[in-house]
Amino acid sequence: MKRLLTVLALAASILSIVLAVLPVSNLAIIPAIGALLFGLTAFYLSKKAGQVKKIIQFTFLLTSIAITISIYKSIFDKTEVTDTQELIKKENETKEEAIEELESLDLDELEIDDLKIE
Amino acid sequence: MRLSVILLFLFTLFTNGQNTAIGTNEKLTYTASYNMSGILTDIAQVTMQTSSIKTSKATLLRLKCNAATYSKWDNFFKIRDLYESYVNPKTLTPYLYNRDINEGGYYKAMKYTFSHKTKTVKSVQTKKNNNVENKTISIGYGTKDIVTTLYHIRLFDYESMINGDRKSFTIIFDRAETKAQITYLGKETISTALGKKTCYKLAIGSSSNVLQGNNNNLLWLTDDANKILVYAKFKIPVGNGELKIKSASGLRN
């Protein structure tokens, strides 16, 4: 039982670290909670048996690092759009092409010759 | 009395479907979030913008929508999508539609040229490696592209609708016509980035599998003269998410 909980705590803490460094850092909180629960239970059982393994403390360390990264990113990371030059260029190109295309259309057919925006 | 009823009826006929909501310099910015394991994560920014386009023969309205992933996602799945439509500024009848999508390395461009007289759409599809495909599609009366439809739903008179009332329309997407309908679900006051807004709550559904469920895809349009979309919830085959307004400028009313 102790071993199983320790393995689960380790797996959950590694998962939380991986998620914390990815853009989905806010998801790291879910395995982090799991890692803490498994780790604390394993720690309690180990202490009762009189021998606490270092690996349990290591999972606590990993989990706390994951939570710190996740909180830091949620506070300081900016949600902004960058690298839009290509999109802007594309917008201008399609606009020019569209105007040419619209010029070549039969506007009588479109019945818009008297249109003006109010 | 009878005359006033007739006049009112004629006025309703005349004004129904006329653009009184969309201006020529409007810019709406949204944040698109995706539900991951129950946690909403901001994925992309969606911008809907209108502008006036002058040709030698007429003045048209350009409806432009673009979607771009936030920089933190760009290394994983970069999206740079552009959708635009050139429409009659009064009736929002589309004449030209462009779609240029670049999603995680997948590229596709689509152009529709509408001919309302012959009820056809000439389409040009371009994929990677300049793989071009031309096709002419027959369309029904009132068929619109997806961008025009997004704006067109703002022209409906929701004040005269009661809960459960429906409006149907046809959308041409991926060179096929799709029937869609919106159901009016009443008014609701919600908190948005623009403040508390009383909104028309609408459920949107389609005959295709793009939108899942009956009342899973919901739109909230402000109940003022602009009827701008301030919030949307959607459920698609790959998950669910929401669209929240960030800013609005250049509104007509």
Question: In total, how many domains does chain B have?
Answer: 1
The helix (H) or strand (E) run that includes residue B203 is strand B195-206
Does the beta-carbon distance from B59 to A102 stay under 8 Å?
no
Residues of A in contact with B113 (CB under 8 A): 101, 105
Opening angle at CA B168, ends B163 and B173, nearest 5: 135
Cross-strand partners of B199: B188, B222
For an interface test with A, the pick among B40, B71, B119, B155 (most A C-beta atoms closer than 10 Å) comes out as B71
Which residue among A84, A107, A115 sits closest to B89, beta carbon to beta carbon?
Answer: A115
Does the beta-carbon distance from A116 to B42 stay under 8 Å?
no
Which residue among B88, B98, B113 sits closest to A112, beta carbon to beta carbon?
Answer: B88
Indicate which CATH number applies to the domain containing B46. 2.40.360
Strands B176-192 and B195-206: antiparallel
B14 located within any domain: no
Does the beta-carbon distance from B71 to A102 stay under 8 Å?
no
- How many whole angstroms from its chain centre is CA A14? 16
Return the pLDDT at A88.
Answer: 92
Does the beta-carbon distance from B71 to A80 stay under 8 Å?
yes
B10 located within any domain: no
Q: Are B50 and B132 in contact (CB under 8 A)?
A: no
- Over the range B105-127, which residues count as b (16 or more CB within 10 Å of their CB) and which as e? eeebbbbbbbbbeeeebebebee
Question: Which tens digit of pLDDT belongs to each residue from A48-83?
Answer: 888 888 999 999 999 999 999 999 998 988 888 998
Which residue among A82, A87, A102 sits closest to B95, beta carbon to beta carbon?
Answer: A102
Region class of A110: left (phi > 0), else alpha (psi between -120 and 50), else beta: alpha
Tell whether A79 lies on the interface with B, counting CB pairs under 8 A.
yes
Opening angle at CA B77, ends B72 and B79, nearest 5: 95
The residue extents of the domains of chain A are: 2-76
B3 located within any domain: no
Residues of A in contact with B68 (CB under 8 A): 81, 84, 87
**Which domain does B112 fall in, by range?**
25-249
Which residue among B41, B62, B74 sits closest to A83, beta carbon to beta carbon?
Answer: B74
HSE-CB of B108 using CA atoms within 13 angstroms:
10
- Please name the residue of chain B whose CA is at the shortest distance from the CA of residue A22: B72
Return the pLDDT at B212.
Answer: 61
B2 located within any domain: no
Question: Which tens digit of pLDDT belongs to each residue from A5-36?
Answer: 999 999 999 999 999 999 888 899 999 999 99
Does the beta-carbon distance from B58 to A110 stay under 8 Å?
yes
Return the pLDDT at A52.
Answer: 80
Q: How far apart are the C-alpha atoms of B98 and B81, rounded to whole Å?
A: 11
Q: For chain B, 253 residues long, give each residue's pLDDT as a single digit of tens.
A: 444 444 334 344 344 467 889 999 999 999 999 988 778 889 999 999 999 998 888 889 999 999 999 998 998 899 999 999 999 998 999 999 999 999 998 999 999 999 988 999 999 999 988 889 999 999 998 899 999 999 999 999 999 999 999 999 999 999 999 999 999 999 999 999 999 999 999 999 887 766 666 678 999 999 999 999 999 999 877 788 999 999 999 998 8
User: In terms of residues, how long is chain B?
Assistant: 253
Return the pLDDT at A112.
Answer: 45
Listed as own residue / partner, the contacts of B82-85 with beta carbons closer than 8 Å and 24 or more positions apart are B82/A87, B82/A90, B82/A91, B82/A94, B83/B146, B83/B147, B84/A91, B84/A94, B84/A95, B84/A98, B84/B147, B85/B145, B85/B147, B85/B148
